[in-house]
Amino acid sequence: MKNKSYIGISFIILVFGIIFIPKIIDRIKNNDVTKIDRLNTSGQSETSEDLIMKIGPAPKFSLTNQNGETITNDNYIGKVYLVEFFFSTCPTICPIMNQNMVKIQNHFEGRTDFGIVSVTINPENDTSEVLKKHAEHLGVKNPNWNFLTGDKKYIFDLANKGFNIYAGENKDIDGGFEHSGLFALIDKKGNIRCRKDKFGNPIVYYDGLEETGVQALQQDIKVLLDEK
């Protein structure tokens, strides 16, 4: 009897492995390990809003892109998009931020419902012409990736008061400007969204300098793209 029990258990394990292990491996390869099938404390599946919290409406904006066109937040309704504040001559963190944005762009290549907004904090230098060359240098392919420029005070208010992502002018440091390396994630309806930390608190913004931040964004963007 014992031998028959062992055989039965072994058979069940074998069937489980054949059915489920390839799916698990496929999800890991696709950075989809946070797909919404985890169980919450009540025993029911979590929704996308449970996993990726809604912080509130993103600030409205109206600025000029690298092609001299006026771009507003309305251009991104129906799209999931990221927002960063940078400047083209930044000698420190901006190149890392921009390259990480390129990684994310490439990860969602072909998705017309995904976009990026890169706002310069040095508009006196970063004209539309300068930003167009910068975009070409980076290898920007996504037509919804806009590099925006405009009035300096307007941009600083958008960063510091609108998004609450720090940007400032400092003549005593290399480049003359300082700013946060954070990325904001916006859903199709124009809401700022984010995941929770290990304590269940919203992180609000994602680390644009670390690979862990890039991977988290790739996972969470996919979830938001699938939202109805």
Report residue 121: phi and psi, to 5°. Answer: -100, 5
User: pLDDT tens digits for 152-198?
Assistant: 999 999 999 999 999 999 988 888 999 999 999 999 999 999 999 99
CB 216 within 8 A of CB 206: yes
Rounded Cα distance, 212 and 206, in Å: 9
Question: 30 versus 170: which is more confidently predicted?
Answer: 170
**12-16, 87-91, 202-206: lowest mean pLDDT where?**
12-16
Contact by Cβ (8 Å): 130, 136: no
Q: Average pLDDT for residues 97-107, to the nearest whole number?
A: 98
Q: Is the per-residue pLDDT at 9 higher than 90?
A: no
Residues 41-57 have pLDDT tens digits of: 344 456 787 789 999 99
Closest CA to 107 of 226, 215, 223: 215
Q: Is the pLDDT of residue 2 over 70?
A: no
- Spell 168-179 as b/e; 16+ CB within 10 A means b: eeeeeeebbbbb
pLDDT in tens, 131-148: 999 999 999 999 999 999
Q: What is the mean predicted confidence (pLDDT) over 100-111?
A: 98
The DSSP output letter for 72 is: E
pLDDT of 15 > 50? The answer is no
β-bridge mates for residue 202, sequence order: 196
Percentage of the chain modeled with pLDDT above 90: 75
Nearest in space to 134 (alpha carbons), one of 124, 126, 142, 123: 126
> What's the rounded Cα separation, in Å, for the pair 190 and 174?
35
pLDDT of residue 45: 53
User: Is the pLDDT assigned to residue 27 strictly greater than 70?
Assistant: no
Cβ-contact 153, 188 below 8 angstroms: no
Average pLDDT over residues 78-94: 97
pLDDT at 228 > cutoff 70: yes
Average pLDDT, the chain: 86
| Model confidence pLDDT, tens digit, residues 200-227 | 999 999 999 999 999 999 999 999 999 9
Per DSSP, helices labelled H in 109-168 are 128-138, 152-157
